[in-house]
Each structure stands twice: as structure tokens, then as C-alpha cells.
Amino acid sequence: MTKTIATLQTHPLVAQLEAVQVDHPFSELGYVETAQGPVIRAWYPHAVSVWVLSLEGQHSQQMQCVDYRGLFELSSAQDFVDGYQLRVEYSQDTWQGIDPYAFKQNVYQGLEQLDKSPKSWYQVLGAQLMSFSLADHPISGVRFVVYAPNASSVSVIGDFNFWDGRRHPMERCLDGHWILFVPDLKAGIRYKYELKDRFGAQLAHKADPVGFYAEQYPSFASVVWDHNHYQWHDQNWQDREVDSLHQPMSIYEVHIGSWKRKHNSFGWASLSYRELADELISYVKKMGYTHIELMPIAEYPFDGSWGYQPVGLFAPTSRYGTPDDFKYFIDCAHQAGIAVIIDWVVAHFPADSHGLARFDGTPLYEYEDPRRGWHKDWNSYIYDFGRETVRRFLISSALIWFDYYHVDGIRVDAVASMLYWDYSREEGEWIPNINGGNENYEAISLLKWLNEEVYREFPKAITVAEESTAFAGVSRPTYTGGLGFGFKWNMGWMHDSLEYMAQDPLFRKYHHDEITFSMVYNYDENFVLPLSHDEVVHGKGSLLGKMPGDEWQQVANLRAYTAFMYAHPGKKLNFMGNEIAQVSEWNHDGSIDWDILQYERHHGQYLLTQRLNHLYREQPALYEADYEHQGFHWIDYGDWERSIIAFERLSLDGSDRLLCVCNFTPSTYENYRIGVPEAGTYQVILNTDDQQYWGSGYLSLSCFESQNKPWHNRAHSISLSLPPLACLYLKVVEV
């Protein structure tokens, strides 16, 4: 090994390279035109010698050390104008490969698309496995592109350069992006970005905002991933006909980390994506659900946030496996005939130093004024929904889940907090819009654009809004002035019905409107009826715990309420544990209390939920016309004295009919008459008081003959025996 370092030999460029203050390394490194002619310049701190080799390795020349800190030059660069590689010799190691700064023109490929399509952001930005031609030789590696317009310098650091920001400074593009192609890198390499703000102060090392995979604490490093590696097997699913408004949708909401746990040598651990593909999907299929909704799956740093404080909107969390493992989970769900919805959180983001907060030393992603950019309830930043780059970044993050991961839908969290400047703020803590109002026009515009892009790119997709106010047109098309969502959570139904069920049955008659009012506004939106995780945390107790009465009455109330929900217009969502009448409040650090299924009252709720799901899918009257007036008729909503309601559900063409009668008191009623739409024999197809569900078994008859006796403005009627705290479904079997 020839030692070429001259003591105290210096070069004016090195001070900038050493301090990582170079923003245009393409002008200084690699093949460079100088006043003395072309040179090849290489920067390798701590190197003993550097050689330039032809691409075939047959011709080589040693470079001169022009600065003892690691700057080398070769003056006879014209011999390697068509391409070259380097051999770098250290005191105890040697590296040989293609110089990243040999690629200066063709690496910009695709950047022009960033202003044309949000979809291009995840296709162009981040760490992309690519191949570029050098003297007709295809060279594979990773191109890094990151947006940081206010940084004075950016370097990519990682396993490949000892996490040394001096080694790979990136080139600043005119539009604020920084770019560098590093040859020979492969999937699995860890990396981050080292940025300096506009004043030259170094910031915390940042994870890639468009990273596809990330490590957990303490490194939070981004990881290069190959999205072309996974082979999908869900083509039949992708080719199916989809009409979400008129098809059954029974959603099982799941927190992956606490659905079920396994015991290993380190204690109790969550199941992996692949383990869930076996256990969760088979369970959901057996239970009859049509959809799984996953609480936020995008990468997040803190377990206690349940994923609602994400830092990596383009990466499934690595807590449970790799991106390919997550794809396998989705693939298996589709092969089992189950759709997957994910929670997508863009209302805010956490202040973790490795994330988006003051990414380039400025509020690049967040509103600068804390009266708009800081959410005090969640101690998190709020995206600047009016900034074009942020808007494209967010919409791109939604599209990638449909494109690369084949999810079927996204549920947008905390939409109300996005729509209003004064959400959870006191007077003086917010800034009105240009018209003096509280609507955030920028967020409204973003949500409209989001839905237009999703449905344009993926027509079979669904979008769902968790929106808790009376904002008009959430699930109406944008061309009519709506936000464009496919569905909206019916928070009013959830709140009112749970308030009603929490009342002692003796006093429910004074709250009768709480169980009937939802039909007044039912057709304003395409509603999903949610009994979500929000109702079983933060001291609210379990769903079972909200029900009044003794042990038997509690589960009877829950059974009746569950059946009422399935008969009420709107798609259904149930959080895990509700289906077995979980006793304890949900704990994200634990698991569902599966062992309680050994007890009859919990097994009864399990069987009832399973029966309801299958019945729901079998009866078009229960799902086809959720959003059309002809799909629902009140039979009697006015019997407040006895807390009884009766209504009829119909399919779109009216050929399939189902009657629902609910008795929300522990009293039994003999000869209770209700009007029916036609003469015939009415069969009970569901009775929540059945003994198999741990009911009393009060109802001894399964069929009731109609009588030619007008009742409830109908020409025919039947006389029922109503069980206590029960819901009945009836269908005509003979006319």
C-alpha cells in the first residue's frame, strides 16, 4: 500500500466538506472541469490512498492527496471520461466501487413528475432502488431524494458510510429537493438524513419522510426496501365487482398489538403480521365480518399513542414485521374474502426530533403560528394544509396504501379537528379565516382533493371520515359541494344510543327520543354505526359495563342493543372484545380476555354476534338500502311508555323484508300487537333472548300468523309475546 498523504497539505474546499457545508457537491466532486482542465476529485476522510480504475478494472491510476484530511485528485481525468470506479485504501480496510459523484445528470429522472401527480411522490422521493447507465454499463444502487428547501446542507448517512455526514453530501435541486445516487446499495440498508439549518446549525438526524420501512427505538433509522419483491395472489379479489353502498359491511376494528398475545422467552408479545394472517383472518371469517379495520398501522414512535401519532406515513410499523409481511396479511385477507381498512392519521403529527417537526430547521410541514400549528390536546403539530408540498405529501401517503399494500379503504381520523380553526380552542387561541369564520378552507380543500384522487386512481376504494360535528356533506360528492368521502361515522347515533342504554330501564321511557332520533337525519350522510375503541378507554369502561342491572340484565341489554344496531340502517363497526362482552376496559398493553369465553354469558354474546354477522350478510333487507328512504319504515316509534320500538327493513326492490321489534325493559309483554305489511306467517329468525345466547328462553313460539286486523296504519297485524330486554327479527314465510 502506497502512502500518499502529505503532512499539512491543504485545499480550500476541504473546510466546507469537513464541516458538511457543501450544497452543490456535483460541482466539486467526481468528474470536474477546472481552470487547469478536467480532474476527478474524491473525498474520503481517513483514507490512506485512492485509485481510479476503469469500469472493467483493467486500467488504474493513483490519485494525488491534495489535502491530508481526505481530498484526492487525478489530473489525467480524460482517460476516464466514459466512467470509472474507485479503490479506497484505509489503514486496515479497502473499499472498491462506483463513485456516487460520477452520476450528475441522469439521476434527476422523474423529479419533473412531482408537480404533476401526488402519486409520483412515493415513486420518486425517499430511497428508491434504481439502475443508471454509466458508459453503457447498468449500475444498480439507491437514489436518495429528500425535500428540505431551507436547509443549508443535507447528507445521507447510514451503515454504508459509518453514519458520517461528511461522506455523502447531497446535491441541492432548484425546487428544494436534495438528491444523491449511491451505487451498489441494496434493500435492507439503514439510513437517515443529516441536515443543517439555514444558519449552518446541525439538526437532529432525521428519518426519511417518505421512508418505506423503519427500525424501532432507539435508532428509528429508515431502511431501504424493495417493493417489487412481493408477489401478490389477490387478482380475483381485485377483479371483483364492488358497490360499497349497497353491499354488506360489518367491520371488526382491531388494535394489532393487543388483539391476542403469545408467550415467548422474553414474556408476552404481540402477534406478527404473518401470525395474524393465520389467526385473526380465520377468526374474522368464522365470525362473519366482511371487513377488518386496523387502528393506525403507519410507523409511530410511542406504543401508548396506539398509532395516532405517526411519523412514517409511508411505512407499516415494523413492530409486527416487514412491509412484505404486512402485504402477506392483506393478501391472505383478500383470499379469504375479507376487505381491509386502515386508520389514516393526518390531522396532526408528533414532535419527535427524528420526525417531521421543524424538519429543515423551519416549520416545513406544520403551520408556523402555534394558534394554527399546535394541538394542545394531543401535544402535536398540525400540518400546514395550505402548503402545496404538504398537500401532495399527504395525498401521496394515502395513495401508497392502496397501490403498494392493496388496502381496500382508509378511515380518516379526527376530521373535525381539521375542519375548524377553533377545534378545542378557547377564544384568543385561534385565528379566523379570511372571512372571519372558523372553517379551515385549506383543510376542506385538501380533503376534497384527497377523495377525488383516491377514487380516481382506485375506483373500488372506500374512504371513511371520523367526523363528530354536523358539517354538511361529508359523504357527498365534491361536485355537489361535499367533501367526497364514501362514508361518515355516525357519532350522534353512537352517543345517543349508548346514553339511552345506560339508563335504568325504569327511566328509559323519559329518554325514548335518544333511541329513535337518529332516523331524523339518517339520510343526510352515508353513515357507519361505530362502537369503536373510543368508547372503551380512558375510564369509560367496557361496552358491557355501560349496561345497567344485574349480571343477567347487563348481558341481555348488550344482546338487545347489538341486534338493534345490526337492524338499524348504516354499515356496522364493532371494536374487538365487544363480540365477547369484554368485562374490563381495553388495555393496549394487554390482550382481549379470551378466557372469559368459558362462561355462558360471554359465549352467548359471541354466538349472537356470529349469528348476526351471518344473518346480516344473508338478508338484503339489512344492507341494500341503508341510504335510501324505501329501505326503512317505522312500524311504531311512539311506545315510549313501554320502551318498545318496531320497524321494517326492506331491500332495494322491496322483495326482501324483515321486521325488528325491540323491548328495552325487563318486563315481558303478552299479546303485543304490531302492524305488518302483508298477510302470512311470520317466523322469528333471531331472538336475542334465546337460551343459546344465555337468554331466558321466554318465547316459546317461533311463528306467528297474521290477522286481518288493522294496526299501525297497516291492514294486517300479528300478536307477539315479547321477551324481556330482547330484540326479535321476523320474516314472512307464507303469504
Residue 94 Cα distances to 2, 64, 571, angstroms = 13, 17, 63
Burial (CB < 10 A; 0-12, 13-18, 19+), residue 495, is middle
Sequence-ordered alpha helix ranges (H) in 505-599: 513-516, 551-567
Catalytically annotated residue among 208, 466, 626, 690? 466
Interatomic CA distance for residues 280 and 260, integer angstroms: 9
> And the C-alpha cell for 680?
302470512
> Is the CB of residue 360 less than 8 Å from the CB of residue 148?
yes
β-bridge partners, 555: none
Say which residue the cell 398537500 belongs to.
391
- Integer Cα distance of 49 and 56 in angstroms: 20
In angstroms, the CA 306 to CA 291 distance is 20
Kindly state the cell numbers that stand for 313: 406515513
Query: Which one is catalytic: 208, 331, 413, 648?
Result: 413
CA-to-CA distance for 315 and 528, rounded, in angstroms?
Answer: 27
Report the DSSP pairing between strands 137-147 and 126-134.
antiparallel
Alpha helices in 458-490 (DSSP H): none
- Closest alpha carbon to 723 in 552, 467, 509, 570: 552
Q: What is the Cα–Cα distance from 569 to 625, expressed in whole angstroms? A: 8
Rounded distance, CA 193 to CA 354, Å? 9
**Cell matching residue 483:** 367533501
In the chain, the N- to C-terminal Cα span, in Å, equals: 100
453 a catalytic residue: no
For the four alpha carbons of 227, 228, 232 and 237, in that order, the dihedral sign comes to positive
Q: Is 466 designated active site?
A: yes
Cβ neighbors of 241 (< 8 A, separation 6 or more) are: none
For cell 337525519, name the residue. Answer: 521
CB atoms within 10 A of CB 339: 24
Rounded CA-CA distance 354/371 in Å is 24
Listing DSSP states for 359-398 in one string gives TTSS-SSB-SSHHHHEETTTTEE-B-TTSHHHHHHHHHHH
Q: Provide the strand spans (E) within 68-176.
A: 71-74, 85-89, 94-98, 126-134, 137-147, 153-158, 171-172
The CA distance from 556 to 581, in Å, is 11
User: Which residues have a Cβ under 8 Å from the Cβ of 134 and sit 6 or more positions away?
Assistant: 55, 83, 98, 102, 103
Q: Which three cell numbers stand for residue 701?
A: 313460539
Question: No. of H helices and E strands in the chain?
Answer: 14, 37
Residue 656 CB coordination number (10 Å): 17
CB 192 within 8 A of CB 158: yes
How long a stretch of residues is the chain? 735
DSSP H helical ranges for 242-321: 256-259, 273-287
Candidates 91, 33, 40; CA nearest to 63 is 40
Phi and psi at residue 331, in whole multiples of 5°? -55, -45
Instruction: Please tell me the distance from the alpha carbon of residue 579 to that of residue 576, in angstroms, as a whole number.
Output: 7
Neighbours of 457 (CB within 10 A): 16
Q: Are 375 and 381 in contact (CB under 8 A)?
A: yes
Amino acid at 204: A
For the annotated catalytic residues, the residue numbers are 413, 466
